[in-house]
Amino acid sequence: MLGEPKRDRKAERRTATRREIVDAAWQVAREKGIAQVTLRDVADLVGMRAPSLYTHFASKHAIYDAMFGDAWTQFREAEKVAEPGVPPGDRAALRYYARFYFDFAVAFPARHQLMNRSVIPGFEPGPDAYAPSVAALESFVSRMAGHGIRRTEDVDLFIALVGGLADAQLANDPGGERYARLLDRAVDMYADSLGIHDGSGS
């Protein structure tokens, strides 16, 4: 129709190629580990020579930067899908949040490492890539406040508790249930320490 803006097909192709490169990097990370991603492996998957990647990303760290932002965006999107399933009751909701995060973490160890551990020497995500993680934390803090948990140290303890169990699962029983089985018990201990019971909100 007249008056509609013209499509920037060049920009669309560039965006699609960047997406393909990031997806290829995730594939390498899944197969070899996040720290073992190489430009050569990524380029091979997308049908390029390694130097051609610099047309789209300034460095390997720039690819990691895009992956970091993508990982937290995936987390946020998964949260939105899971949100309607949050059960009533404060303790039950805490168990749900713990299980959701734990399952997301152990489903893709390389992604979890990039999101939460400093495994890439010299890498630090830029502001745009970091923004989804900040949004995720702010959203979580708001949800915890809805269950009466408002002190920063109490939110931090919950994050450390669940994240620690996920790390232990990945390190000691990948693909198993050893630490997954402890989630509800750990959350109940946490809730007991704060005097939180289903429906209390105090």
Task: Compute the distance between CA of residue 35 and CA of residue 12 in angstroms, rounded to an integer.
Answer: 30
Tell me the CATH number for domain 1-57: 1.10.10.60
pLDDT computed for residue 176 by the predictor = 95
Q: What is the pTM of this model?
A: 0.89
Domain ranges of the chain: 1-57, 64-194
Query: Does 1-57 match 64-194 in CATH topology?
Result: no
**pLDDT in the model for residue 1:** 47
> What is the Cα 25 distance to its own chain's centre?
16
Question: 64-194 falls under which CATH superfamily?
Answer: Tetracycline Repressor, domain 2 (1.10.357.10)
Which of 164, 198, 179, 200 lies closest to 95, judged by CA?
A: 198
Q: Give the contacts of 184 (CB within 8 A, at least 6 positions apart).
A: 95, 98
pLDDT tens-digit profile, the chain (202 residues): 455 667 677 778 888 999 999 999 999 999 999 999 999 999 999 999 999 999 999 999 999 999 999 999 999 999 999 999 999 999 999 999 999 999 999 999 999 999 998 889 999 999 999 999 999 999 999 999 999 999 999 999 999 999 999 999 999 999 999 999 999 999 999 999 999 987 544 4
Cα distance from N-terminal residue to C-terminal residue, the chain: 58
pLDDT for 200: 44
d(CA 200, CA 202): 5
